[in-house]
Amino acid sequence: MDTLDYVIGLIGLIAVGGVAAFVGLVRPKRRGRSLPPRPAEQQGRPLVGRPDEDRLPGVGDDAEVPRDSPSRSVDVVDLPAEPAGPVTERPEPVLGRLVRLRERLARSNSALGQGLLTLLSRDRLDEATWDEVEETLLLADVGIGPTTEIVDGLRERVRVLGTRDPEHVRELLRQELLSAIGTDVDRSLRTERHEDRPAVVLVVGVNGTGKTTTVGKLARVLVAEDKDVVLGAADTFRAAAAEQLATWGERVGVPTIRSERDGADPAAVAFDAVKAGIEAEADVVIVDTAGRLQNKAGLMDELGKVKRVLERHGPVDEVLLVLDATTGQNGLRQAAVFSEVVDVSGIVLTKLDGTAKGGIVVAVQRTLDVPVKLIGLGEGADDLAPFDPEAFVDALLS
Ligand SMILES: Nc1nc2c(ncn2[C@@H]2O[C@H](COP(=O)(O)OP(=O)(O)OP(=O)(O)O)[C@@H](O)[C@H]2O)c(=O)[nH]1
Ligand SMILES: [Mg+2]
């Protein structure tokens, strides 16, 4: 028994000594290895998943700190400072916009302007050439009536004056186009505040023509003129419509009156927008409307009601019909329906940057007997310009 005790004791001593020797060998090595220094703010703080340095490595332990281990806790990340308030944009001044945008107009309508000039500079202006002039105007959607007038007028003057000088012919064409468009029409927007209430602008049109975009761009035009503007989101038919409008408003610091719920009565929202405009002593209230309902009669009834309810505050100053220039004759038919219901006072022709059918300016005015007041020449926030016939024709013929 004594011998057995002695052997067990000896084995125990050897085992303890071996472990001590092993620890002695290993620990200095681990300490001596250079680990990447920990950031100062983490020192003294245990890191999740980091093996305890005083523990012996075992099977399955990582040889070193895994690269995907969290190296910083979330609370030490520097957050960007809170902005002081919403940043509002300063819209571009209106003056000279058409000059900036004329390049787009000239590019999209080169078939009209350059096409006519090329035809008219031919050596012989025979019957076939005049037919081609006519065709070019028709293709650009000028419409049959105005086309005949332009061609007849030009033909007569070229014959009487006997001129073939390209510069002179160009000037004659310019004059014919200008008289077809009309230079003595009042195209100003009625956005002057009345003594006791803001001016009210109602914007109508078929879906997708660019109504909401136009309301947003117009708000910018007015803000650039230092006017106080309120927007009314009377398109309660489409869920995202009010949001789209409010975003335009926010960019230039203009409030948007909208309903709390979808499908609310658009006339009530329009009424509230003007009420808010009166209370805030705003200069202009612009009301956006829906372009689509289940059926045409429903849409027209709704618009009629919006206008009537708005008129409880006083006459509506401007009813702008937004037309997509790329839809041609179809757009004209739609326009006629709107003008029957809401007594349109001005036309906004959008997307003139994307069509060769700039002649629609002439056709739409003739069909509705309403002037084009604004034109849209792009999706950019300031790509809306007052319609100026001279700048327009000069861009076509540049
Ligand atoms: N190229 C170009 N695109 C435009 C112009 N005006 C509007 N758009 C685009 O046309 C599309 C429709 O515009 P919206 O303003 O939403 O049209 P809407 O009439 O309000 O449409 P609904 O609310 O659905 O009736 C958008 O993608 C606009 O960016 C323009 O002058 N030129
Ligand atoms: Mg819209």
Mean pLDDT of 204-230: 95
Residue 363 CB-density burial (10 A; 0-12 exposed, 13-18 middle, 19+ buried): buried
Identify which of 361, 379, 384 to mutate to test ligand 1's pocket (most ligand atoms within 8 A of the CB).
Answer: 379
* pLDDT at 260 (0 to 100): 82
The response to whether residue 351 sits with its C-beta less than 6 Å from ligand 1 reads: yes
* pLDDT at 395 (0 to 100): 87
Strand locations in 192-263 (E): 199-204, 229-234, 256-257
Q: Please report the atom of ligand 1 found closest to the CA of residue 292.
A: 25
Q: What is the mean pLDDT of the chain?
A: 82
pLDDT tens per residue, range 297-325: 888 889 999 999 999 999 999 999 999 99
Q: What is the Cα–Cα distance from 392 to 375, expressed in whole angstroms?
A: 10
pLDDT tens per residue, range 362-391: 999 999 999 999 999 999 999 999 999 999
Q: Which ligand is nearest to the CA of 321?
A: 1
Mean pLDDT of 198-209: 95
| Half-sphere exposure for 261 (CA within 13 Å, toward CB) | 3
Q: Is 18 a residue whose pLDDT tops 60?
A: no
Please state which of the ranges 8-17, 95-104, 376-385 shows the lowest mean pLDDT.
8-17
Strand, coil or helix: 251:
helix
Enter the pTM of the model. 0.78
Taking CA atoms only, the protein residue closest to ligand 1 atom 25 is 207
What Å distances lie between residue 233 and 14, 304, 374, CA to CA? 89, 16, 21
**In which band, very low, low, confident or very high, does the pLDDT at 56 lie, cut at 50, 70 and 90?**
low
Residue 112's nearest CA partner among 383, 360, 374 is 360
More confident site: 70 or 277: 277
Q: Is 50 a residue whose pLDDT tops 50?
A: no
More confident site: 86 or 107: 107
